[in-house]
Every structure is written in C-alpha cells, then in structure tokens.
A = this chain, B = another copy of it.
Amino acid sequence: MNPIRVGIVGYGNLGKGVELAIRSNPDMQLAFVASRRDPATVKLQTPGIPVYAYDSLAEHRNDADVIILCGGSATDLPTQTPEIASMFHVVDSFDTHAKIPAHFAAVNAAAEASGHVAVISVGWDPGMFSLARLYGNCILPDGKDYTFWGKGISQGHSDAIRRVEGVVDARQYTIPIQAAMDAVRSGEQPELTTRQKHLRECFVVAEEGADLKRIEKDICTMPNYFADYDTIVHFISAEELKAEHSEIPHGGFVMRSGTTGANHEHKHLIEYSLKLDSNPEFTTSVLIAYARAAVRLAAKGEKGCKTVFDIAPGELSPLSAESLRASLL
C-alpha cells in the first residue's frame, strides 16, 4: 500500500509536532510544508522535504493526500480551513468552542462544493475530551459532566500576563483543585464554582525596578482571565523561567458522574484523563490519526465537514477491522 502523503500548513509548535509524529506512523509520509513566511527562511527538521509558499498551494494539489492545518484558531483557521478544503482533504484543530458551529458551516460549504473531507476541531479539547463527554452523556443520561484542566501551561493566560505593564515574560499554570475532584469522585454531583475548580499559578519576570505589588494586583484582578480565580504570583529571574518553565505540559480530567437503578441507588463514575509532557506534540498525534481517517472516508466517497463525533473509531487505525476485533476488542 502507498503511504498517505501528508502536507503541513503552518510551521510553529503544531507543525513541528506533526512532522515528528509522522515518523511514528509507518503508513504516512511527509509530503511538504507550506507557510505564509518566505519558504527560504523555514528550516525543517527533516531533510529533503520541500517548503512551499502558502499562496502556491493550488499548484501542489496532487502532491498530498491530506493537509494538516497548524495555524491558530483566532485568525488563521477561520479563513485557511475553508480555503484549503476547496483543494485538499484537511484536518484542523480549531479550538474556540463558541465559534465551532460557524466554523463548521463555512468549512462544510467549501468541502461539500469541492468534494473533499474536512475534519475540524481535532485535538484533546476539543477532541478527545469531547468524545469522553459525549460517550459519558449517552451512557449515563442521569448524570452530570465535569471537566478539569491541568496541571499545565495556558498559552492564553501567559500571553495576558505579558501584556501587563512592567512584565518581561511569564508562564501561567492552570491547576485543578484536588478537593473539587475528590468531591466529584465521591459521586455526590456537587455544584462547583469557577474558583473551586481551578487555581492559577503565575511565574513572572518583571522589568528591573518595576512595582511588583502593582503588577501582582493587575494580574489577580484581570477580568475573565484571573479575577474569578485564586491566583498565586511568583516573581523569578529570566534565567529561572528558561530553566524551569520552558516545557509545555498539560492535561486534565473529564468526569461523568451518574446513577442507575429503580431509585437511582447505584452510582457510577466514568473518568478520562490525560497527563501530557508536551501539549502540542500530543495534539498533533491526535491530528495525525484523524488525517488517516479523512483519507479513508474520502476513499469511501464521503465529503463535507466532520468532527470527532462523526468518525467511527476504527477509521483512526492503520489496522484492518478484522485485526482490531482480534487484538483490541
């Protein structure tokens, strides 16, 4: 069988993660990378792979079986996914939950019109966590959902701290609160406030001579990002930030607490959790599996926009249905 030829669009953390993840999947090979930057300035980790300009993608329609879009959800994917879905089968990791219906509509129109398969919002949340929520809801309709994130780096919160006057650099860890998770695991189905579920811990490098008290207050009272949470601020040196906080770990927990029985007397807890050393590398590992599924669905004549909810789990595997039944069922 010919390997699946994967194109990457966007060469940041995600793009680099896809490049590495392809090496762990013998049925796939890297076809090219495309970037909005000048291709001559993009240095890949893999020798011999061409880098194309984003605007020349139409010329390379026959050079990849599927494209993994590695841009950001704020500005890149809303335009790129529909644009590229008119030329290729695509997978993206669009993760602005509230805007998924609009993104779906735009991508679906492009993919239906051109006859391609486009899988959106792939990763771990949305993605694997969404699947855990869906399966949990379907199995235990009399129940309640809980999602906890962390311990891990929130890029958005780290960026927000960097915008505070007098801050040179920062990393923010989202930390789930153990007492809240224990309360859910007890089966009591508690109502939990934002503050009860997560803690925010910040490591901040300040400008020399900056007013640390004022910076701390600006962070802790920032609406949406920190005001509703208990927040801990540590001021550290740039060297310490680099030495201790350069990795991008993340993870979290999806719990479904439900009951069954004539009088709801039996409690059940379904828990799905992730503990990830590298958020982008795990996300790209999920993207790769769904890229395989996109190619398979296209081969069966499907088209249009899909999410993880629409794709049978067996389509993610390089193994045949027979092998899967014999080895993993």
Contacts and interface: CB of A to CB of B under 8 A. Distances in A.
Contact of A312 (B130, B185, B310): B310
Interface string A261-280: 11001111111111111100
Interface stretch (A2-10, A63-71, A134-142, A232-240): A134-142
A298 interface: no
Interface stretch (A18-26, A29-37, A152-160): A18-26
Interface in A91-147: 97, 100-101, 104, 121, 126, 128, 130-135, 137-142
A155 to B, nearest CB: 17
A311 interface: yes
Given A97-B329, A309-B312, A317 B134 contact: yes
Contacts of A324: 134, 309
Interface stretch (A79-87, A209-217, A222-230, A281-289): A281-289
Given A101-B325, A121-B329, A312-B312, A25 B268 contact: no
A104 B128 CA distance: 28
A128 to B, nearest CB: 7
Interface in A1-56: 17, 20-21, 24-25, 45
Interface of A: 17, 20-21, 24-25, 45, 97, 100-101, 104, 121, 126, 128, 130-135, 137-142, 185, 260-262, 265-278, 281-282, 284-286, 289, 292, 307-314, 316-317, 321-322, 324-326, 328-329
